[in-house]
A and B are shown apart, each in its own frame.
Chain A
Amino acid sequence: MRTILAGLPGLAAATATAPAMGTGEVWLFWILAPIAVLAALGMLVAKKAVHSALLLALVMFCLAVFYIAEQAPFLGIVQIVVYTGAVMMLFLFVLMLVGVDSSDSLVETLRGQRLAGLLAGAGFAALLMGGIGSAALGTRAGLGPQSASRNVVDIATLLFTRYTWAFEITSALLITAALGTMVLAHRERTAPRPTQRELSEQRFRSGGQLTPLPAPGVFARHNGVHVPGLLPDGTPSELSINKVLAARGDIRSGQELDTPGIAASTEEEK
């Protein structure tokens, strides 16, 4: 538990860096690691893209907890705010933009491209693993233990002194992002927006239903939207029911519902 708490910025100085894993950390690891692995596997095998995305969010969340436990609170917070928050949301937005159920075309436009890509990727991975693995890790200047005790404050110090210039330039990046989104996704009106008066006049000119539509069977014998309202002469009103519900075959007439036995048989006729 000590190490976990040490990850939180305020308490960092009080607890010295403990090289060995504390009991709390062991527990944390053995609880979260299986969850993270299972979620990662689930992400790969999930049939629906949205489920994949949500499982990915779970993986990222578990990682964030690990980061914080490993005394990298800044990384943990970034992981949650930027990745599980923003990037995940963007993922889902893109899924919805493309259509949740749409799937990739499996036709190769360049013949043998997939195999070549696979081989090149495997080769690159082998090269990296071999190269980095062969380097005796730990003796390099950048790989030694860093002063983790003041993680966030150290980052602030660097960010606002040594890297001020880069930090302020980043705002240019954010403005570009906003400009780009507007340019690509926002259509400005070329004609003034029609006023309510104009809309109303247009509705009367085109004719059709001018009054509000009759309500479904709310105050008749049944109170659901799936039962048409009755007109004064007792006939069901087509206007009172939603066309989409009718198309799905969800609409029942009042009589059917009175006698449950008939409902099943008349269903075929509809």
Chain B
Amino acid sequence: MRRVNVYAPILVLGLLSTGFAVVSVVAGSLTGPKRYNRARLDAYECGIEPTPQPVGGGRFPVKYYLTAMLFIIFDIEIIFLYPWAVAFDSLGLFGLVEMVLFIVTVFVAYAYVWRRGGLDWD
């Protein structure tokens, strides 16, 4: 069980972060003024004026899909990077070359999305 000690800092950090989250929420509700009205209880929209809720609960515009897909592409790249990084010491130069080739190829897609305005938000 001595090996558990290696993970003690992680455990402590986990407890600390959970504690911080719980304490902030509880402290806010205990100390804040309680003047409730319906407008105040609405979802906080970061200063954006509330917009009418359309029929069907509101649909996201399809351009969010682009963001989601780009995220997934890099996510899958990470999956390949993980075993590569773990075995990096024994893979040698060829491993580096293979991964660079892979990443460069994927970044061609990234360059395309960027140049064609896929990352602009208007």
Q: Which A residues have a C-beta under 8 Å from some C-beta of B?
A: 1, 5, 9, 11, 74, 77-78, 81-82, 85-86, 89-90, 93, 96-102, 152-153, 155-157, 159-160, 164, 167-168, 170-172, 174-175, 177-179, 181-182, 184-186, 188-189, 193, 224-226, 242, 244-245, 247-252
Contact = CB atoms under 8 A, between A and B. Distances in A.
B60 to A, nearest CB: 4
Nearest to A77: B82
A182 B42 CA distance: 35
A182 B86 contact: no
A224 B79 contact: no
Contact of B65 (A153, A181, A188): A181
Of residues B38, B109, B118, which shows the largest number of chain A Cβ atoms within 10 Å of its Cβ? B109
B108 interface: yes
B98 A242 contact: no
8 contacts: A81-B79, A90-B68, A90-B72, A99-B56, A159-B83, A168-B98, A224-B37, A245-B42
Given A97-B60, A160-B94, A186-B63, A5 B3 contact: yes
Contacts of B60: 93, 96-97
Contacts of B50: 242, 244-245
A185 B112 CA distance: 14
Interface string B106-122: 10111011001110001
Main secondary structure of the interface of A (DSSP, over half): helix
Interface of B: 1, 3-4, 35, 37-40, 42, 49-52, 56-60, 62-66, 68-73, 75-80, 82-84, 86-87, 90-91, 94-95, 98, 101-102, 105-106, 108-110, 112-113, 116-118, 122
A247 B86 contact: no
B109 A175 contact: yes
Contacts of B116: 182, 186, 188
A99 B117 contact: no
Given A93-B64, A182-B116, A252 B37 contact: yes
B64 A174 contact: no
Nearest to B62: A185
Contacts of A11: 3
B79 to A, nearest CB: 6
B84 A182 contact: no
A200 B75 CA distance: 42
A118 B1 CA distance: 51
Given A152-B87, A248-B38, A178 B68 contact: no
Given A224-B37, A248-B38, A152 B86 contact: yes
Given A181-B70, A181-B113, A224-B40, 15 more contacts: A1-B1, A11-B3, A81-B82, A97-B62, A99-B59, A174-B106, A178-B69, A181-B69, A184-B65, A185-B65, A185-B66, A186-B118, A188-B117, A249-B38, A250-B39
